[in-house]
Structures are given as structure tokens and as C-alpha cells.
A and B are shown apart, each in its own frame.
Chain A
Amino acid sequence: MKQNKLSYKIQQYLLFGGPGTALFLAVVIVPFIYGLYLTLTSWDGVSAVKPFVGFQNFVEAFSDGDYWAAMGRTVIYSIFAVVFINILAFGLAYLVTQGIKGQNFFRAGFFVPNLIGGIVLGYVWKFVFNRAFVAIFNSTSLLSTTEGAMFCLILVSVWQYAGYMMLIYVAGFMSVSKDVEEASRIDGCTSAQAMKNVTIPLMRSSFVQCIFLSITRCFVVYDVNLSLTNGEPFKSSTMAAMHVYNQAFTYKNYGLGQSEAVILFLVCAIVGVTQVLIGKRGEVEA
């Protein structure tokens, strides 16, 4: 059979999968591997020379106090942001799946902040915190204090991502069989008991996806960080990604910045994948 020949299969693959694979290699795999190579150099990001320094950059990265302080802040920021994003998104999804009037309008409305880019969103909220709230409450800007800046960053991230995660939760709510919900009502569940015992367990895959997406997005937050606080005051809101960027492009330590980026990637991947592996246990089709 012609279809069973290896050469035929390769031809077919190259025809249909080839362009996509080439593009993926060109824009993801090659830069990633090249980036790994750069971690072994002391390149400044500009010169043509890339002196090989072995694992020196990783040694420096592990002893870079600012980097680990930024990493610590990123972890704290991520914990709060992930929790609040998911609580709010779940609540909104519940609200817009109850058949209320105009629920499609609300779904679209809650999703809009996700369409506005992080940079624009950051500047809009910066205006709100620095001008509007200051004028209304006649107080100093929240962005001017260390705790306030972190709070603002979390608030804006929640605002930005809750609508997006809401859509995944909406899909989760809609995938729960109506018959199963009704069976739980007949079995004696109150609304809260049905939610706890039936709906939430059946939406486990939505939780896994949303938590994974929010963790990975929060760990590498940069745009909102840049436009809203720019790491200020006193670097108290500098997140790991911003520190990496500054290290590579502002301080011209590209090799070090790159190795810090690799560490950030590993931390993010380990946390994300662990969460998915744990979450996937006991997952069932609704």
C-alpha cells in the first residue's frame, strides 16, 4: 500500500505539518536554544564578541540579591493575584450563567479589560490611582507607598485577567450536565451543597486550566509592571521579569539577564506543571 510507505508519510507530514513546524522551530525552539547558549557567555547585548564564561552567569544569578528579592515579590504577587483572579472569575462566570437578563452583554463587558493591552491598562489605572482617587479621596496616591504599589499591581492584574478566566469557567459551568445538577437537587442538595459536591468537582478541568494560565501569566508579568509602577517606589514593585529585562538591556548584562530568565522559566514551569499534575488527578468528564 502506497499509504503505508515511510516516504509517503514523510511527504504528507512535510506538506501539512512542515510549514507549522518550520515556523515553530524558527520563532520558538531556535531562539530558546540560542538563549541557552547566551547564558554561557558574558555578552553585553551589543558587541559582536560573546566571550564564553561557562556557568559563571548562573553562579552570579544565584548570588544576585536584587533578583531573588524580585523573585520573592513575584511569588507573593502571584499568590494573591492567582487567588483573586480565580475567585472573581468564578463568581462572574456563575453570575453570567444563571440566565440573568443581558448576560451575554455582561460576559462581553467583563472580557473587555483583557483586550486592552497591559501597557495601556497600566497607564489608565495609573491615571486613576494618581489623579482620580487622589482628587476624590483627597489623599496621597496608593502608588507612592511600597505596599500600595503592590496592591495596585495585584488589583490591575485581577481586573485584566478575571474576564478572560471567566470565559473558561463559563465553559466549565456549561459543561456540567443539567441532569446531574437536577439529580443533586432531588437528592437533597441546597444550592451551596450542589455547588460544593457536584458543580465544583465537575469543573475541575476548568480550575486546572485557569490556575495554570494565571500562574504562568503572573510569574512573567512585565507590561503592567512597567506602565503602572515601573518597579517604584524604591524598586519595591520590581517583579522578576522586569529585573531580568533591566539586567539584560538597561545594565547591558545580557548573559546574566538571560540566565536569570532561564531560572524564572524553570521556576514558572515547575510551579505550573506541578499544579497541573496535581489538579489533573481525579479529573472527570462532566
Chain B
Amino acid sequence: MSEVILKGIKKIYDGDVTAVHDVNIHIKDKEFIVLVGPSGCGKSTTLRMVAGLEDISDGELYIDGKLCNDVEPKDRDIAMVFQSYALYPHMTVRDNLGFALKLKKVPKAEIKRKVEEVARVLDITQYLDRKPKALSGGQRQRVAIGRAMVRDPKVFLMDEPLSNLDAKLRNQMRAEIIKLRSRINTTFMYVTHDQTEAMTLGDRIVIMKDGFVNQIGTPQELFGKPVNLFVAGFIGMPVMNFFAGCNLLLEGGKYYAEIRNVKFELDEFQQKALKSRNQKPCEIICGIRPQHITVGEGELSAKVEVSELLGTEFNLHARSGDDEVVMVIPTMDLNTDVSMGANIKFTVQPKLIQLFDKETKNNLIWYDPVSAKANAPECARY
């Protein structure tokens, strides 16, 4: 069992700058958890606290059931892959891979066997006697991963390991990490600012902003049930469309979302959720994913400003009133003119409309004050 539990973890610099606020995460054994968020959100700091490279200002960190706040990094049985690879430039690949084992005084024959096995798995056998300087970025990244693998750690920490690679190599290495994960089957904590990496790699994703955890959930939950405007905007590509100046109406015991004076009757689930929290009519921001928009017929209209054909789909950038609306429209069965300058009609299924409170920016359906409190008291502070 290599669970990692972060209980009320805080990082305060110089007594007054709080970089990480009261983070509560329970990472299950063999779970792949991804910390994602924009630069400066505290994700790397959180990872470094787990690694023992930063002191924990407050809260408790448990690795495999053991309180690790004051345990040295070397005694935590963790391995870490750095963004810069952090290979030892004066050592060969072989020495880099075997260094941790050598420090543990593992017999030489055993080190050799393990190093060669890892090298074979990562396909770097031919580079074992080279120094890191003589390797490409992707090869260095493999060595960095190999250096962590060879130790067989309880927890595998990765701090933006793919950021220094070009787009093609990044996609390739992402696939390698997925394969690696199935092979070594341990607990992973992975930091990235790239939501695609987060969505494709993580069993669960922790979204952070300004040192607060905003939401913890599976990729599907984050995509479909964002608790606030930030999460909704951060997850998904292209970014969710937000319509300001919308209203939540309550007429005849039914809730409606009013967008550009067009009323959408919300579906049964939304009605129940809003009723259960006794939601009063209010001004809201409506969020609609570009993929959820249907073009052709509908109550809303827009003028196409940019039309990008991407093979199986069009990416349309259209103007609807004051808002720019992005739509992803499959080319199959498309009977509407979506060329530049065309006026189009569009609509969306009401159940796919995300409703955000204009004041708090929280999702009126999915934001749960109780679980938010449990995760982080101010997690909804957008």
C-alpha cells in the first residue's frame, strides 16, 4: 500500500506569503493523480512538499501511512522526475541510473542487472555508456524516468516532465508514460500545466489556482461537472464559451436559463438540483462547450468570423452579440454554410448548459459547499 495523504497542507514563505492553502488530497494506492493549474498556482510547491524538497508550513503528510513531514527526501522512498531532467552531467547514463542503488549499497551485480533491465524497457541500452550531453531531449527524459524506475519507489513524482520537449515528442512520451504506468504499477503524482496531459494521464485530476484546490475529480467529472468558472474554462479544448448577462428564471415552478433573451427549459436533473438548494432566480453566466453546439437550426444566431476546416470537423469562431463563440462542428452531415461571413443559427441542449453564479462564479448545479469545505475551505474562491 502506498497511499499518499495530504491533510491541510500549507506552504507559507517568509511568514506571510501563502503559496499553498490548506490542501487536502487522498491519493489511493497505485493511483495516477495529476496536479494541474496555471503557473504560480502552487502545484509544483505541493509536489515538492511531498518530495521533501520544501518544508511543510502546516498540515500533515502521510506516505504509506507514515507521517513524513520531517522525514528526509532520501528516507521517503520516493522517486522524482524533474522538468529539467536533472541528470548528473558528469556521469554516464549507466552511472546515472545506478547512482541511487549504489548509495543504498546494493551489490554491483544487482545494480548492473536492474540498470540493464530498465534500459531495455526504456530502449536506451545503446546509450548506457554515453554522458547526458550526448543525448537528445527525449533520450534524456527516458534516462530521467529510468533513474526513478530503477529504484522501485513507493511513489513516483513527476514535475512537468514533458514541458521541455517539442510537441511531437511530447505526444510520444505521453504515450510512453501511459505504458510505463501499466508496467510499474505504483502511485504517481504528476504535475503539469497542460490540461491535455492531465486529461489523458490522470485517474483523477486536482485543479489548482492561486494555491487553492478548486476541484478534484476524474477527467470526465472535471469536463462534465466543473464546480466553478475557472475549472470550466481550464478543462476542455477549445475553451468553453461563456455567455455573460444571462438569467436564471423561475416560472411556473420551472427553471429556465435565458441566453440572449432566448429561454431554455432546464432538464429534469438540473431542475431537481436547483430546487434542492432552493435556488432563487438570479443573473448567471452560461457556459457551453464548443462541441455541444449544434449548427443549422436554433434560436440563437451568430456571424462566422473565422472558419477552420480540420478534416473531420470545423472550428468556427463566430460573433453572437458581444460574445465570441467557438463551435466545433462535425463536417459529416453538415448542411449549413459555415464559410467566413455566413450568418448561422445555433442551439444547445439545455442539459449541457453549465450555470454559474455571476457573483461567486460557482456552478449552480455541481458546486457542493460541503465537499468544497472538505477539500479546501476556500476552494471556490475564483
Q: A183-B80, A186-B78, A189-B103 are in contact. Are A198 and B86 (CB under 8 A)?
A: no
B89 close to A (CB within 8 Å):
yes
CB-based contact A177/B133 at 8 Å: no
Q: Mark B280-319, 1 if CB is under 8 A from A, else 0.
A: 0000000000000000000000000000000000000000
Contact of A188 among B51, B84, B90, B100 (CB under 8 A): B100
CA distance A188 to B103 in the complex (A): 6
In the complex, 13 of the A-B residue pairs with CB atoms within 8 angstroms, ordered by the A residue number, are A179-B82, A180-B86, A183-B82, A183-B88, A186-B73, A187-B103, A187-B151, A188-B103, A188-B104, A189-B74, A202-B89, A202-B90, A284-B131
Return the chain A residue nearest B48 by Cβ.
Answer: A182
B53 close to A (CB within 8 Å):
yes
Q: Mark A161-191, 1 if CB is under 8 A from B, else 0.
A: 0000000000000000101101111111110
Residues of A within 8 A of B86 (CB): 177, 179-180, 182-183
Q: Mark A196-208, 1 if CB is under 8 A from B, else 0.
A: 0110011010000
Query: Interface centre among A177, A204, A285, by most B CB within 10 Å?
Result: A177
Residues of B within 8 A of A180 (CB): 86-89
CA distance A94 to B180 in the complex (A): 40
CA distance A286 to B53 in the complex (A): 20
B79 close to A (CB within 8 Å):
yes
Query: Interface centre among A184, A187, A189, A202, by most B CB within 10 Å?
Result: A187
Residues of B within 8 A of A177 (CB): 84, 86
Residues of B within 8 A of A183 (CB): 80, 82, 86-88, 147
CB-based contact A187/B100 at 8 Å: yes
CB-based contact B53/A185 at 8 Å: yes
Interface size class of A (residues with CB under 8 A): 20 to 34
A282 close to B (CB within 8 Å):
yes
Contact of A182 among B82, B99, B147 (CB under 8 A): B82
Return the chain A residue nearest B153 by Cβ.
Answer: A186
CA distance A201 to B72 in the complex (A): 24
Q: How many residue pairs, one in A and one in B, have C-beta atoms under 8 Å apart?
A: 66
CA distance A197 to B90 in the complex (A): 10
Return the chain B residue nearest A181 by Cβ.
Answer: B86
Contact of A186 among B74, B90, B104 (CB under 8 A): B74
Residues of A within 8 A of B90 (CB): 201-202, 204, 282, 284
CB-based contact B74/A286 at 8 Å: no
Residues of A within 8 A of B99 (CB): 184, 187, 197
Where the two chains meet, the residues of B that have a C-beta atom closer than 8 Å to any C-beta of A are: 51-53, 72-74, 78-80, 82-84, 86-90, 99-100, 103-104, 131, 133, 147, 151
CA distance A183 to B99 in the complex (A): 11
A193 close to B (CB within 8 Å):
yes
Where the two chains meet, the residues of A that have a C-beta atom closer than 8 Å to any C-beta of B are: 177, 179-180, 182-190, 193, 197-198, 201-202, 204, 282, 284-286
A interface secondary structure, majority:
helix
Residues of B within 8 A of A190 (CB): 74
Residues of B within 8 A of A182 (CB): 51, 53, 73, 80, 82, 86
CB-based contact B74/A284 at 8 Å: no
CA distance A182 to B51 in the complex (A): 10
CB-based contact B80/A186 at 8 Å: yes
CB-based contact A185/B88 at 8 Å: no
Shortest distance in angstroms between B178's beta carbon and chain A's nearest beta carbon?
Answer: 23
Shortest distance in angstroms between A191's beta carbon and chain B's nearest beta carbon?
Answer: 10
CB-based contact A186/B131 at 8 Å: no
Residues of A within 8 A of B80 (CB): 182-183, 186
CB-based contact A188/B82 at 8 Å: no
CA distance A242 to B86 in the complex (A): 50
Residues of B within 8 A of A193 (CB): 103
CB-based contact A284/B100 at 8 Å: no
Return the chain B residue nearest A193 by Cβ.
Answer: B103
CA distance A120 to B217 in the complex (A): 72
Contact of B74 among A188, A197, A198 (CB under 8 A): A188
CB-based contact A284/B133 at 8 Å: yes
Return the chain A residue nearest B144 by Cβ.
Answer: A183
CA distance A186 to B77 in the complex (A): 8
CA distance A285 to B133 in the complex (A): 9
Shortest distance in angstroms between B3's beta carbon and chain A's nearest beta carbon?
Answer: 20
Residues of B within 8 A of A201 (CB): 90
Shortest distance in angstroms between A99's beta carbon and chain B's nearest beta carbon?
Answer: 13
Q: A179-B84, A179-B86, A180-B86 are in contact. Are A185 and B74 (CB under 8 A)?
A: yes
CA distance A286 to B132 in the complex (A): 12
Residues of B within 8 A of A188 (CB): 74, 100, 103-104
Query: Interface centre among A182, A201, A202, by most B CB within 10 Å?
Result: A182
Residues of B within 8 A of A286 (CB): 89
CA distance A35 to B356 in the complex (A): 88
Shortest distance in angstroms between A106's beta carbon and chain B's nearest beta carbon?
Answer: 21
Return the chain A residue nearest B104 by Cβ.
Answer: A188
CA distance A180 to B103 in the complex (A): 16
CB-based contact B89/A285 at 8 Å: yes
Shortest distance in angstroms between A46's beta carbon and chain B's nearest beta carbon?
Answer: 57
